[in-house]
Amino acid sequence: MKIISSIAELRDHLRGQLRTAFVPTMGNLHEGHLSLMRLARKHGDPVVASIFVNRMQFGPNEDFDKYPRTFAADIEKLEKEGVYVLFAPTEKDIYPEPQEFRIQPPNDLGNTLEGEFRPGFFTGVTTIVMKLFSCVQPRVAVFGKKDYQQLMIVRNMARQFALPTEIIAAETWRADDGLALSSRNGYLSVAERAEAPALYRELNLVADAMRAGHLDVSLLEKHAVQRLAERGWKPDYVAIRKRIDLQPPTAGDLATREPLVVLAAAKLGTTRLIDNLEI
């Protein structure tokens, strides 16, 4: 595996590759990330991964400085997966000058759910993804469903800008107890880690209730938030939305069985966890 930090060197190394499959990451790789690499290989060759902790998508009071960085261990894992190139730029490589041009997602998608609680987050995400796509020029790129809203925003961006990159969705990788794998899970104490699967169980309760015909969306959301709060969580939201655009379902949508997804974000101690489940 070749490790490259320079954009010019990356482009030179990948010149002539027409089926590149790309997996962008922020490092601290776990089995969920590695499953993305394996899925990428099914859709293209060679596989290129990136590691870049993007300051632009962190808010002023978020965890940019303490975000786990495990570069040596990440390299070993990627080598075992047969990744062809690891693009590991520095901030100076990616932002040699202030990034004054930025991608702004539409308000109805970018300012709801995660966008409401993390202002500017999706502007940072879409800007870096667009820049990475420009550097790698992949035919396909793989994103996990755990970051459901991010996946949808990136997919819509690629379509509206007519990018020559197909966005592939990967299923969420979970621990045996149901907790979605995340780099931030490492922040959890032993007791918090034991409690953390309750978030996924709550999503299943909501989904099961809807499948059983309980269609009072606001009541289901309210009760889920209450149950989490009673367990000591600090919920930001539990939201039932349409998969197609992440807008709240209307009565007509519920009557026609519009495909839905229930999404949640909540703090357990000081760690903010997100998850979702398609209904």
Longest dimension (CA), the chain: 57
**Cis-peptide, bond into residue 46, ω within 30° of zero:** yes
Catalytic-labelled residue, pool 30, 33, 214, 223:
33
33 flagged as catalytic: yes
Q: How far apart are CA 146 and CA 180, in angstroms?
A: 7
* Residues 77 and 38 sit within 8 Å (Cβ to Cβ): no
* Residues 160 and 225 sit within 8 Å (Cβ to Cβ): no
Catalytic residue ranges: 33
